[in-house]
Amino acid sequence: MTDPKASNKAPYGTYALAFFAMLFWGMSFVWIKIVYQYYDPLTTIFIRLVVSSALLVLLALIFKIPILPERKDYKAFLFLAFLEPFVYYIGESFGLQRVSSSVAAIMIATIPIVTPIFAYLKLKERLSIMNFVGIFISFAGILLMIFKKDLSLEYSLAGISLLLLAVFAGAYYTIQLKPLSTKYNPITIIISMNVIGSVYFLPFFMYFEYSDFIQIVPNMELITALSELILFSSIMALVFFVKVVERIGPSKTAAFTNLIPVVTVIAAWYLLPEEIITSKMLIGIFVVTVGVFIAQLKFRIQ
């Protein structure tokens, strides 16, 4: 567990790790868009999980980190992996096909404000006034982004719904993770999630997308984007994030998630010519970010 006194005097290196974790996750929405020019979502997810699992197992072997959880916790891990990566990646990946990477990033960034709602429902943890204020402000920012002046939807309803599914899965995953995170090394948990997730996705990948996958000859753009997604987003960002949580705790670490949509907007504007960044979108992102920040001021999982 993190020592509260130590967390108040975290070195600059810890904040640098947090910054790079959010930088990589913010960039991931753009890398996914590039990969989608070649591979469909299930193929992208499956490759990402399998390769990152193999690399993390190698890392665990080098540093002598336990790979398998105890048998009595198998059911808990099976359910945890169902929430994330399975349901979460389905919502995020198929949602990204239907909305811009910037909107997807800002919706995913609301997970920290949905988490206390699940904590209240499942763990009976109290919601603060700041939680309610932050949730209201963030919700208003999302409405600003997804509706036009005539109240018609700016983006696909299916895309928005899928991203909401990812948000709910990610938030509930955070709650379900709590008892396991105090028992196992974070790398052990990540490996278990990725391996089980690979098994969940395998039949869907084989049935729906394998025939298309084997016909594609990867070029340098695809290999580069997929490698960046796996190495930086699926491995380095997770390792950095886990280390930061260990040093300064989950609440302070969660505040850094506000950087994700900012990074995504800048990267999308620079790397994706088709990505249109409007003033309304920027205002909406700012409003949602403020709401997420306010909601985190008083919320802390005990």
Tokens of 63: 């540093």
Mean pLDDT, contiguous 10-residue spans, the chain (302 residues): 48 88 94 96 97 95 94 96 96 94 89 84 81 87 85 88 95 85 86 97 98 96 96 89 74 75 88 80 88 70 42
Q: What is the pLDDT of residue 47?
A: 97
pLDDT in tens, 50-79: 999 999 999 999 999 999 999 999 999 999
Sequence-separated (6 or more) residues with CB below 8 Å from residue 65: 59, 185, 187, 188
Quickly list DSSP for 157-187: HHHHHHHHHHHHHHHHHHHHHHHHHTTS-HH
Report the residue count for the chain: 302
Tokens of 152: 């018609």
The ranges assigned to domains in the chain are 22-66+89-296
How many Cβ atoms sit within 10 Å of the Cβ of residue 228? Answer: 18
C-alpha to C-alpha distance for 285 and 171, rounded to whole angstroms: 20
Q: What is the pLDDT of residue 249?
A: 67
Sequence-separated (6 or more) residues with CB below 8 Å from residue 69: 77, 180, 184, 188, 189, 192
Q: What is the pLDDT of residue 93?
A: 94
What stretch of H or E contains 85? none
* Contact indicator for 37, 224 with CB cutoff of 8 Å: no
Torsion of CA 2, 124, 131, 157, to 10 degrees: 110
pLDDT in tens, 12-28: 888 899 899 999 999 99
Q: What is the pLDDT of residue 209?
A: 97
Q: What is the pLDDT of residue 9?
A: 53
